[in-house]
Structure 1
Amino acid sequence: MNSKNILTASVTINQKIDLVWKIWNEPEDIAKWNAPSDEWINKKIENNLVVGGGFLYAMVKKDGSENFDFGGVYTEIITYQSIAYTLDDGRKTKITFTGSEPVILTEVFEPVANLDLNMQQNFCQTGLNQLKAYAEQL
């Protein structure tokens, strides 16, 4: 990753690492927390968590006015520690899981070049905050 164009978001989740890992990776859990706001839903979620495997989150606004696909291929997986992937557009992301309870989840990612950096940072942080809220109510 080009370090001058990197964004980072992080959250501390008061749950055990095995639950946080599951919530991050299982489609039925992802559907419950992975949306930029209440206006969006996951139309389709696929996740093949193996190196060389892919993932796809097909997002759509509830009113049907906007949609996008977020997908890529896993390049590194260390269970309960880290996940790295390359998005379909070539950008790279790494997620680290630090600690066993609580867990600090940190996402470091290359932003889209022509989109507002603060918007992208907030988008990512909102997702992590929603993950935290979902995990901590279980």
Structure 2
Amino acid sequence: MCVSVCVSHGICRSLSLCVYIYSNTHSGGGLRWQMAEFTHLVVVKFKEEVVVEDIIKGLEELVSQVDIVKSFVWGKDIESMEMLRQGFTHAFMMTFGSKDDFTAFQTHPNHMQFSATFSAAIEKIVLLDFPVVAFKTPQ
């Protein structure tokens, strides 16, 4: 395993400093690396009466106001069979520069305020918070 520092690699999407830890994989001899990024993934089933577009608009406003959120993407499931989906319909993913940035986001006043609205709209939720490990990156 080796450590490399990248200043302007395509995956960084900016000239910010990223740290990669490279290691050989056991299958196919490819490389994978852990980036200095941290991801917050939320998968939800909204309550039936919720206007989902309003919640999404609120999320978009939140991430626009908080600079430590590096990226925000979301989507609505349209392909999964209901038995596999288990009622979950939407996924939201935020990327942060580090776990410390994510921790700061959790206590940010704008996040704390919006969390009450978001929580009230949720019937079921799954949260995953993890450091990013990349194997195949977008070109």
- Range of TM-score over shorter length: 0.3 to 0.5
Normalised TM-score (structure 1):
0.34
- CA radius of gyration, larger in: 2
Normalised TM-score (structure 2):
0.34
